Structure formats: structure tokens, C-alpha cells
Structure 1
Amino acid sequence: MKNKLLYNLLLLLGIALLALSWLPEWPDTEKQGFTAHRMVAHAMGGIEGLTYTNSYDAFVANYEKGFRVFEVDLLLSSDGKLVARHEWGEGFTKQLGEQDKLAADRQGAVLTHAEFKAAKIQDIYEPLDWIDVLELMEQYPDAYIVTDTKQSTSEEIQRIFKQIVDEAMTKNPELLERIVPQIYNRAMWEPVERIYPFDSVIFTLYQTHETDEEVVAFAEEKELAAITMSDTRANAGLIQELNRIGVSSYIHTINDPETIAKFKKMGAYGFYTDFLTEADLAKNTGLLSLLNGYVFAR
């Protein structure tokens, strides 16, 4: 019995030492602002198996699951209002189940603000415009909004971010502390910065062909809060270089725990997701997750 107990203790010690040997690959968790959270609800998060709704209902459901960082897709309506939608077009209208709410000739069109607001998603979920998003930020004072602005010409950037800032200033200037713009190339930094010097900015890589070295240099120069990349763009070298300069790396959009475990092993900091939660992030690596949380929380 004594020998068996000693064997078990040695086995546990060996597992713990092995886990500790992996710790340098998992970055420090002592973060401020939105990076205090590792999971980002993609397009306000999934709801009832649906994705890309960007809806009020998705926000509330995912807040209740523990999310505090919400990415929202933003487009300009035909009359220049900023609304939470991933894209226009007939196929996407059908995906959202809105076809019965719109005339046939409007199902593939860029909608007016009034048309957008009147067309409930799947006949039940409430679409959001930017003013609605700001209202949610006031009601939920620990929530952060990450912008995914789908129009990116110089003129569109000016119109979109001026509206983002002006309406936040009107509602409550402190809300700007919890708005995190995503930029899509290095050239986008300056026009956004001229409109407003946001506390945190994310560089998302899905539209850029810049090298890993250029990405790291830019992140260090501008003191970016995070780099977001797809699972195909992510690699251990880039992630480790970002960890070295203290920039968080997020991978999008991941709904599989095994994929999360793979990128956690590389040192990735967090993930955009439709359906997984912070609890899912923690439990899929067992003892290693517990040790990481204990060591870095001290």
C-alpha cells in the first residue's frame, strides 16, 4: 500500500513537472482592459445554433454565458446609418431568415436603416444599430465591443469611425474606453488615430499580405493591444514573437476544443468563437490549465 501511494505521488509529480515545462508557451494573464478576457464572442456570439446574427438576443445570451468581449460587424445602411450586419445580399438575407420581411427586390439590396431595423432575424431576434450597441454598453458596464467594419475605403473609414466616435461622445464619452477598433492593414492606423486615439487597437490579418516580421514590428511600434489571425495564418513563430513583445494573439473563429488546445500549446492567448466559453477554454487542457491559472494568478 505504501509503495503504491509513493508511486502515485511520483506519477503526479512527474505530470506536474511536465506541465510546468510547457508554461513558457502560455503567456502571462495579468492583462488590463479587454485582454483580461481570452474569449471574444464572434458577431455577438452564436444563438440557438445560428451565427452572424449580430443581434441583441445573441449579446444577452452570451453575456449570461460569461462573455465580456463582443465583436460586432458594422456596415453603413443606404442612408448612411451604422448598423450591425455582416454583409448585404440575397444569400445572407436568407441565411438570417429575413426574406419574408422584405420585398423581393429588396432582399439583395443595401437596406435603409428603417428596413434593416424592421426585418427581425428568424422572425424573433432583434437587429442592432450602433446606437443600440452603445445602449447595451451602458446597460452592461463591463462589456467591451470590438469593431469589425466591413467597408474599408478611406472615405468609408472616415464616415464609419466618425459616426462611432460622435455617437459615443453624445451618449457617454467614457464608452470609448471600451470600444476596440480592428484595423486591417498598417495604412488604416493613421486615419483612425486622427479621428480618435482609442486606448486599444487590434490588427486583424485576414485582409493583409504583410509578413510576420512586418506584423510584429508594426505591433511593437504602435503598441497594439492584440493581433488577431485565422487558424491558417497562425504559426508558433509569430505567436511567440508577439508574446515576446507583450502583444496578445487571438485566433479566429474557433468552435472546436481540440483546435483551441493546439493553439494554446503554441502560446496563443485567446480566441474568437461562436459557441465556446471561457469554461471550455479552461477545461480542455486539464491539469495544465489549472497550473497555468495558479501560477500566473500569483
Structure 2
Amino acid sequence: MKRKWLYFTLLIIILVAIFISLIFFFNKSNSSSEQQEGFKTHRMIAHAMGGIGGQTYTNSYEAFIANYEKGLRVFEADFLLSADDDLIARHEWGESFTKMMGQEDGLKPERYGAIFSTQEFKDAKIMGRYEPMTWDDVLDLMVDYPDMYLVTDTKQIKPEEIEQIFSKIVDGATQRDPEILTRIVPQIYNHPMWDQIEAIYPFESVIFTLYQTHESDDEVLQFAKEKGLAAITMSEARANKNLVSKLNKLGIPSYVHTINDVEKMQKFKNMGVYGFYTDFLAEADADRSWLRNYLGL
């Protein structure tokens, strides 16, 4: 009887050891971030500085702090030029967006749909409590948090606007600390934008985001290979196994936006997608294996 109990105990121990090994193996096999460099050592990108209090697109100081504390280190921010040509972190103009951000109390009704001055922008707290940020405010964060990476989403893409926006980005960072430029990752939306930004400053890493292009997968692959792009970002609808697989063979990771569900994220990880833009997930969620997700561990 004692011998049977001993065998049973040993069997349980062996099964537990196998189970733990499987979790480790699948977690390891699904995570290659340690092979990457720069911003790519992280697999999650906080969309518009990440969500806060259930609210998205705030690009606010508080959103940054909340998501930094969740372990995120790569932050995407939207940038527009204010009425007085300052660079500010905002997704779009328009009355509906102003109301979505809960900024009515900080503005006169006739200004809801206007292009704000910098002072109007700063005075109109988001949801009445979150701090809107200018480029100088974002630079303050990059000085105070030297492990932070910034992915730009510039909402004005006419050549003259690109020139103005990225000149401000480069000049501002250079005046604070040139090292900051190594942690800024521009997103481009078309081929000419690469050449224009390269002429302003040769950033170490550039992401090509596909939501504004109708290029074929082959054209995307050719451009990515030719320019040595750091990554390709695509929507859920644009992501497909063929494109992701060919990018992986080129050593170019793919990111999908905007994912807030771990099961959906796992589907794309199984496709070979490397990273994700997110509002509400944490950095640790990207490194969870499919087995741990399945078991809720």
C-alpha cells in the first residue's frame, strides 16, 4: 500500500514538472523579444499614450503614467500643429472629438470644432481632469523616463506639414538631449515620407504603417527590404499569414493595431505577429504563452 502511494506521489510530481516545463517552453517559444534591440525589446505599444479610466485617445500625461506603471515602455502619440504652430499631442480636430474628450467646460461652444491655440489646448482638461500635452511636455517625459520610447503618429501629412512637424521634433529633442532622438520612432504612411524624414534626420528606426496605403503585400515587402524598416504595422483586417511570414523571413517584425483582447492577440501571435498596439493590455500580456492564456494563468 505504501509502495503504491509512493508511486502515485512520484507520478504526480512528474506530471507537475512536465506541466511547468510545458508552460516555460511555450512561453519561451512564443517570445523572441530578447533577440530584438531598441524599442523592439518590448512587444506592446501604448496607443495614444494608452487608455485610462476606460477612455482612449487622450494622449495625456496621466495616461502615460498609468500605462508606464503597467510595464509599457513604448508609447505612440498623435501629433498635430496648433493654431499658433506649436506641436501638440492630439488625435484630431472637430466638435465630435472635443466632446468625446469631455473638454466642453474648458472651451467656449463656438470653439469646440476649431483648431485650438496652444493655450486653449492646455486649458481644456481632458474629461475635466487629464492633462493635455505639448511636444515640450512629451520631451519632459522622455528626459524623466530614459527607458521610454516614442512612436509618432503625425496626423498632418502634406509635405510642408511633415517638414514643419519633424523639424520641431528634431530641434526640440536636440536642444534637450540628442540621445532622445535614438528613442523616437517615426511612423510613415507612404514612400515619399521616408525620403522627406530621412532628409530632416536619419532616425535609427522607422515604422511603416499600412492604414493609409493600398499597396500590395509584395510592394510592402520590397519597400521594407529596400529601406531596412524597423517594423511594419497593420490593422487586423490587413494582417495575413503570408505577409507576416515573409516579413519574419526578412527579420522585420510586424505589429497589429489596436488589440485589447488577449484571445485575439493570441490568434495573431499564432500567425507570427510580433507585437501589438493596445489601449488597455499590459506588457506582460504579450509574453504569455497560449497555454497560460488558455489556463488563465
219, 224, 230: which one aligns with 1:214: 219
The structure with the larger Rg is 2
Aligned residue for 1:227, secondary structure, equals strand
Gaps in structure 2 of 5+ consecutive residues = none
Deviation at 1:281? 2.3
Q: Is 1:64 matched with 2:69?
A: yes
Alpha-carbon contact 1:240-1:267 (below 8 Å) kept: yes
Deviation at 1:280? 2.1
Deviation at 1:122? 1.0
| Cα-to-partner distance string for 1:22-78 (whole Å, 9 max, x where unaligned) | 988865641110000000000000011110000011111111111100000000111
Deviation at 1:174? 1.2
| Equivalent residue number for residue 103 of structure 1 | 108
Distance (Å, rounded) in 1 between the aligned partners of 2:31 and 2:73: 21
Distance (Å, rounded) in 1 between the aligned partners of 2:179 and 2:24: 41
Gaps in structure 1 of 5+ consecutive residues = 290-298
Aligned residue type for 1:122: M
Deviation at 1:283? 3.2
| Equivalent residue number for residue 41 of structure 1 | 46
183, 186, 189: which one aligns with 2:191: 186
Distance change >3 Å, CA 74–CA 257, structure 1 → 2: same
Distance (Å, rounded) in 2 between the aligned partners of 1:15 and 1:214: 43
- TM-score normalised over the length of structure 2: 0.90
Aligned residue for 1:283, secondary structure, equals coil
Alignment of 1:162-201 (within 5 A): 162-201=167-206
| Equivalent residue number for residue 232 of structure 2 | 227
| Equivalent residue number for residue 245 of structure 2 | 240
| Cα-to-partner distance string for 1:226-259 (whole Å, 9 max, x where unaligned) | 1111111001111111111111111100001110
| Equivalent residue number for residue 55 of structure 2 | 50
| Equivalent residue number for residue 82 of structure 2 | 77
| Equivalent residue number for residue 271 of structure 2 | 266
Distance change >3 Å, CA 180–CA 8, structure 1 → 2: same
Distance (Å, rounded) in 2 between the aligned partners of 1:29 and 1:208: 31
Aligned residue type for 1:125: Y
| Cα-to-partner distance string for 1:187-217 (whole Å, 9 max, x where unaligned) | 2100000000001000000000111111111
Aligned residue type for 1:89: G
Give the root-mean-square deviation of aligned CA atoms: 2.5
- TM-score normalised over the length of structure 1: 0.89
